[in-house]
Structure 1
Amino acid sequence: MNWNTSSTFTPVGLTLRGQPAHKIVRTLGDAAHMLITDWPSDDGEEYVSAVKACVDAISGQIAPEQFREAFLRAADEAGIAALTVVHR
């Protein structure tokens, strides 16, 4: 398992309620931490799919970008604004 996989994972900026209000998710480890500790709701269908996809990506069963798609759907379900982070 590689918790800090960042290759092919396009970073996502999230706007949350509370402190800190903004987070950037760069790795699968960041995403796992976010889903477990900072997610506003843990009972949505897309949330459950994102958690499963995160485990699958960490274990190498799916590509990190496939997980990212599930993560973005879960963010939308939870009302979390998500932006692609572009580095120049």
Structure 2
Amino acid sequence: MTSHPGRMHVVTSALQAAEQILTDWPIEEGEVLSAAKHALLSCLEGNLSPGSARFAFIQAAKEAGNYVDEPERGPPTAKSFRWQKNKPRRRA
């Protein structure tokens, strides 16, 4: 939810989250907000996983009183698991 009542905004990337949190956020300051800004910028620099930045963004949204329409997940703790086996590569 945005600072405009009744308007929803879908965020699908760290860049969109950073733009949202820096330009159209209902609160100016907050401990969680500062951490989320740092997390998003670190993610954009390639120093933090998107999952961790996502977690921080959701926490900042909740701190600001924004509605989040998605179940909360904790930050990733390890590499993502691939369920599919890799296909063998063909050698030329």
Structure-2-length-normalised TM-score: 0.70
Question: Unpaired segments of 5 or more residues in structure 1?
Answer: 1-14
- Contact 2:26–2:64 under 8 Å retained in 1: yes
- Contact 1:50–1:71 under 8 Å retained in 2: yes
Report the structure number with the largest CA radius of gyration.
2
Q: Match of 2:10, SS? A: strand
Spell out, residue by residue over 1:15-42, the C-alpha distance to the aligned partner (whole angstroms, 9 max, x if none): 2341671000001111111011110112
Which of 21, 25, 33 is the matching residue for 1:47?
A: 33
Q: Match of 1:25, SS? A: coil
Aligned residues: 71
1:82 aligns with 2:68: yes
Structure 1 moving runs of 4+ over 6 Å: none
TM-superposed CA distance for 1:84, in Å, is 2.6
Q: Take 1:17 and 1:55, find their aligned partners in 2: how far apart are those partners?
A: 22
RMSD of Structure 2 on Structure 1 (CA): 1.8
Structure-1-length-normalised TM-score: 0.73
Q: Take 1:29 and 1:81, find their aligned partners in 2: how far apart are those partners?
A: 20
Letter in 2 for 1:58: L
- Which segment is superposed worse, 15-24 or 27-36? 15-24
Question: Unpaired segments of 5 or more residues in structure 2?
Answer: 72-92
